[in-house]
Structure 1
Amino acid sequence: MSRHFILFLLLLASLGALYHRSTSQEKDCRLKITLVDSQTKKSIPGVIRCFTQSGNQAVPVGGALARGQGLEGKDALPDWYVITESAETLLPRQPLKLEAFAGLETELASVSIDLSGRDQESLTIPLRSFSQVSRQGWYGGNTHLHLSNLNKDQADRYLREIPRADHLDVLFISYLERAVVDKDYITNRYPLGDLKQFWSTGVLVNNGEEHRHNFGDQGEGFGHVMLLNIRNLVQPVSIGPGISHQGTDGTALQSGIDAAHRQGGVAIWCHNNWGMEDVPNFVSRKLEAQNIFDGGTHGSYEDSFYHYLNAGIRVPFSTGTDWFMYDLARVYTKVVGDLGIKSWLDALVAGRSFISNGPLFELTVGGQEVGDTVNLKSGREVQVKGKAIGRVNFEKLQLIKNGKVIAEVDPRSSKDHFEARLDRGVEIDEPGWLALRISTKANNEFGRQLFGHTSPIYITVDGKSIRIKDEVEYLMKQMEDARQTVATKSLFATKEERERVLSIYTRGMETLRGPGASLR
């Protein structure tokens, strides 16, 4: 085949592509889409999806960033797209239906538009807010995010547009090492600390570290912990031959947690109760908060929180999404003063938090708020006021006392959202804690099962805090079993390494067994 003939074929192919593109555009309408706050009429970021009028077929929104970028399979969110200020896209000249929302505080707007015979059109979609939490000092954050298999420009765009469209206020990405495959972890290429190049979006982004140990590449090991607001990486970032393919298992996570604290950092346990070093570190007050559902909906409140709380160990609730933002999950904290990375983390450490991927909460006990302590001189009735409000029907709002449901109410429909209120007296005759949660099988707009739980309000009676004997014994057994597993499975180079790691559990058991409120 001659060179001239090949060039001729390439020219024909190019002309064909141009013709197809031009005829395709002739069949489409150029639509400018803007989302606005229904009250202020100001443009706001959010997400949209588009369908044919029948609703049976999704229509791609070309030019807009796919909300599910980087996600695959059932997590891919194929139909949702990000709108920052406004977006221009080519859509077919036919009747269409669009849906939009912004974060967790607006209703889902649904509008229809007929683009038949139109070359160009504009569409403004008003979004109605049903919640005031953002005006009451509550700020939503994601404490656990990694990105991979994106180039730097794609990662920059992701961090500029998606957290903003989800109406997050604070976001922590983190540095993570895993032998060989971490070459594709694009978030590892950002510098540690505040990433102020993204702050103009209205989201405070900070880069921390995921400090971890595994037996095997993915097997359960000592555990994973987020080290946030640190100035320098804690080395080794990943411990042991299982994940790093080198060295020994002779370094406990606790030494890295201590190193982060010396930098003024905060340590948050990851992935529910996954790992073997969580209990001794919570018992020893080394950990500031607990992440649940950061990477899926496995795990339970009972295993991740209630055992600790009933043993007298205060554990604030937190969450994130791990690999990409596959969900709307976040932890809200009530910040005192101006919002900043430190003030947001201070609020989390103080227990002024609730976690959610849908409903938003309010709770007071005797006038005290989430994270506070109600001090009673003797047992008596306290007034509990609670509220949950969300875009999707969350089915049950439950009041939890010391891990047990003591009251629940059904939400009622209010325009295009759901709301449940609780106002009742609760008899207190012993120390404990109270919190709100939802109970539902319903999914949010991204197809993830709804969850939501406040951190507790604590109650002391005659100066004593809760300390239930069975729960203390449960945690003791957890540490004993973990110590035995670590002793059996770990690779230690010396007796000193072995003793250094196993002593974490010994000290944890001594601390839990030591002086404190009497068991009941």
Structure 2
Amino acid sequence: YAPAGSILRQPEGATPYFYTDGKFVVTLPPGAARLEFWRGVEYLPVRVDVDLQSDAETAVRLVRWVHLAEQGWYSGDSHIHLHTGGPIKVEIADALLAARAEDLNYSNLCVSNNVGDDIRDAELITGKPHALSDERHLLVFGEEMRSSIYGHMQFFGIKKLVEPQYTGFDNTPLSNDYPPNFEQAEEAVRQGGVVTYGHPIFTNQPDPFAVDPLVHNAAARELPIDAILGKVHAVDLMCYGSDEDLSAQLWYRLLNCGLRLAASVGTDALLDHPTLPLGGERVYVKVDGKFTLESWLDGLKAGRSFVTNGPALALRVNGQGIGETVRLDAPGKVRVEAEVQSACPLSALELIVGGNTVRSEPCPAKHGGGIVIKQLVTDIAMEGSGWVALRARGPESRHVFDGPAWAHSSPVFVTVAGKPIASKKDAAFFVEWIDRLIDSMGRRNRYAKPEDRQRVEALFRRAQTRFQEIATADR
């Protein structure tokens, strides 16, 4: 049930819900009724059973179990769609209501094509928060650039639509696989924007090349190329429908090649469809000073972030926080201080070094008002330059969207004797990855003229050479 005039959203397999500004009237049949109240991941959900035949008044108070903004951490979602031709009529005011109800600070409302050539709201991209935004909830129109072979990217903070907004879509004016994503990412950066790749690896598709290249695929195949050529700032480790662990494994390999890429989140929530909510998974960014569009994007680019569908993370290495760098003159030990807090059940707090789990601590049962708190202090040896990150895991629960509880920090980097992070094994992985992408390009062969394909391949080979240099360097 929902109030008259409101939108009742009914995601498949999930509880129906509606948003409210705090006041509503709903008509229910006689008898008992159950009401549930939620407000994002920082508040404890409240369930109330009432007897509608009684005149009794029931007061409901939502309790905030953690206030991350007070600590300088502000939430965001890189990948929200407002108008996609869906069955629900929505306006920009509905996006603000949803952001306030979910307590989401930065909503990147992505302009993109829908099934074909239908691109809506491009004129709303200005590089500034929309006029309906408030101080704590910014609505900013950005873009999802979509290729059916190279992958999908989200752009934050751009000042106008980056074109072409899509490539490689059947039965459209842009059915060819040209230009490569690199060119659009480069333009987004030129405009002062921030670039992240969305849904890198999908659930049940661990190998993005083990599929028919003629079929549309949104996995982040061009990500390694654009990243090593300096046009990517972040990777969406979480998205409804993607695989967090597999996406993280790909990200680890990029970090191990010396690429400083922040952890981000893009749910791919569709506000004009009955999907799971915006911000059900989110990225938290540590800002310097006042929360603004600019300070939030600066924090994301600097890697001061963690991603989550519930748990809150904190990490310091030799006193340096997430996104910062510890410098050692020689190999030695570093002191790690880590903490997770969570309103949802957790199973483990894991310390990740260079992509390997070096410490896994079981998390306690809930306590302290239903909150899980686990702290970890340990010394770890760093034999060479690398990175340290924190991950938390938990079981599925009704208060967590899109699978089990999961959270991951961006790294704290450790530089030893001034040397770069450079994994030969992971660089060789991307040398082969690019060969496989070029092979898929050839089998698909969607180019208006041979010169276009040659230009794309030359770009990819340039990136491959960078990885090859890491893989074969005498370090």
Query: Using CA pairs below 8 Å that are at least 6 residues apart, which structure has the higher relative contact order?
Result: 2
Task: Specify the alignment match of 1:393 in structure 2.
Answer: 345
Task: Specify the alignment match of 2:12 in structure 1.
Answer: 73
Task: Specify the alignment match of 1:451 in structure 2.
Answer: 406
Quick one: which of 19, 29, 41 aligns to 1:82?
Answer: 19
1:254 to 2:165 alignment: no
The alpha-carbon deviation at position 277 of structure 1 amounts to: 1.4
Separation in structure 1 between the aligned mates of residue 171 and residue 310 of structure 2, nearest angstrom: 34
Separation in structure 2 between the aligned mates of residue 163 and residue 199 of structure 1, nearest angstrom: 10
What SS class does the counterpart of residue 333 from structure 1 fall into? strand
Separation in structure 2 between the aligned mates of residue 301 and residue 421 of structure 1, nearest angstrom: 26
What SS class does the counterpart of residue 131 from structure 2 fall into? helix
What SS class does the counterpart of residue 456 from structure 2 fall into? helix
Amino-acid identity (%): 25
The alpha-carbon deviation at position 444 of structure 1 amounts to: 4.5
1:437 to 2:375 alignment: no
Task: Specify the alignment match of 1:507 in structure 2.
Answer: 462
What SS class does the counterpart of residue 424 from structure 1 fall into? strand
- The answer (yes or no) to whether the contact 2:123–2:160 under 8 Å persists in 1 is no
Quick one: which of 48, 72, 78 aligns to 1:143?
Answer: 78
- The answer (yes or no) to whether the contact 1:487–1:502 under 8 Å persists in 2 is no
Q: Deviations over 1:140-188 (max 9, x none)?
A: 00110113345896233430211111100000011112454737x6x56
1:33-432 paired onto structure 2 within 5 Å: 60-63=1-4, 65-66=6-7, 69=9, 72-74=11-13, 77-78=15-16, 80-118=17-55, 122-147=57-82, 148-149=84-85, 154-178=90-114, 180=116, 182=118, 190-200=124-134, 202-214=136-148, 221-242=149-170, 244-246=172-174, 248-273=176-201, 274-298=219-243, 300-324=246-270, 326-327=276-277, 328-412=280-364, 413-414=366-367, 415-432=369-386
Report the CA distance shift for 1:421/1:446 in structure 2 as closer, same or farther (over 3 A). closer
1:487-506 paired onto structure 2 within 5 Å: 487-506=442-461
The alpha-carbon deviation at position 507 of structure 1 amounts to: 0.8
Q: Deviations over 1:412-468 (max 9, x none)?
A: 312222222111222222221111112233235255212211001111111113211
What SS class does the counterpart of residue 162 from structure 2 fall into? coil
Q: Deviations over 1:233-261 (max 9, x none)?
A: 12211123537354532311111111112
- The answer (yes or no) to whether the contact 1:394–1:442 under 8 Å persists in 2 is no
Report the CA distance shift for 1:373/1:362 in structure 2 as closer, same or farther (over 3 A). same
Separation in structure 1 between the aligned mates of residue 449 and residue 32 of structure 2, nearest angstrom: 73
- The answer (yes or no) to whether the contact 1:466–1:517 under 8 Å persists in 2 is no
Separation in structure 1 between the aligned mates of residue 47 and residue 12 of structure 2, nearest angstrom: 26
Task: Specify the alignment match of 2:213 in structure 1.
Answer: none
The alpha-carbon deviation at position 61 of structure 1 amounts to: 4.0
Q: TM-score, normalised to structure 2's length? A: 0.86
What SS class does the counterpart of residue 158 from structure 1 fall into? helix
Separation in structure 2 between the aligned mates of residue 517 and residue 487 of structure 1, nearest angstrom: 27
- The answer (yes or no) to whether the contact 1:64–1:82 under 8 Å persists in 2 is no
Task: Specify the alignment match of 1:23 in structure 2.
Answer: none
The alpha-carbon deviation at position 288 of structure 1 amounts to: 0.7
Task: Specify the alignment match of 2:429 in structure 1.
Answer: 474
The alpha-carbon deviation at position 294 of structure 1 amounts to: 2.1
The alpha-carbon deviation at position 393 of structure 1 amounts to: 0.3
Report the CA distance shift for 1:122/1:159 in structure 2 as closer, same or farther (over 3 A). farther
Q: TM-score, normalised to structure 1's length? A: 0.79
Separation in structure 2 between the aligned mates of residue 326 and residue 337 of structure 1, nearest angstrom: 32
Q: Deviations over 1:446-504 (max 9, x none)?
A: 55212211001111111113211111111111112112221331322223212211112
Separation in structure 2 between the aligned mates of residue 481 and residue 517 of structure 1, nearest angstrom: 20
- Give the structure with the higher percent helix: 1
Separation in structure 1 between the aligned mates of residue 470 and residue 247 of structure 2, nearest angstrom: 27
Separation in structure 2 between the aligned mates of residue 375 and residue 388 of structure 1, nearest angstrom: 25
Report the CA distance shift for 1:504/1:439 in structure 2 as closer, same or farther (over 3 A). same
Task: Specify the alignment match of 1:40 in structure 2.
Answer: none
User: Number of residues paired by the alignment?
Assistant: 447
What SS class does the counterpart of residue 43 from structure 2 fall into? coil
Report the CA distance shift for 1:77/1:188 in structure 2 as closer, same or farther (over 3 A). farther
What SS class does the counterpart of residue 389 from structure 1 fall into? strand
1:132 corresponds to which letter in structure 2? Answer: H
Structure 1: 5+ residue stretches without partners: 1-59, 215-220
What SS class does the counterpart of residue 27 from structure 2 fall into? strand
Deviates more, 1:104-113 or 1:270-279: 104-113
Separation in structure 1 between the aligned mates of residue 400 and residue 123 of structure 2, nearest angstrom: 29
The alpha-carbon deviation at position 95 of structure 1 amounts to: 4.3
Separation in structure 2 between the aligned mates of residue 230 and residue 100 of structure 1, nearest angstrom: 35
The alpha-carbon deviation at position 391 of structure 1 amounts to: 1.4
- The answer (yes or no) to whether the contact 1:432–1:460 under 8 Å persists in 2 is yes
Higher Rg of the two aligned structures = 1
What SS class does the counterpart of residue 504 from structure 1 fall into? helix
Separation in structure 1 between the aligned mates of residue 15 and residue 252 of structure 2, nearest angstrom: 33
CA RMSD in angstroms comes to 2.6
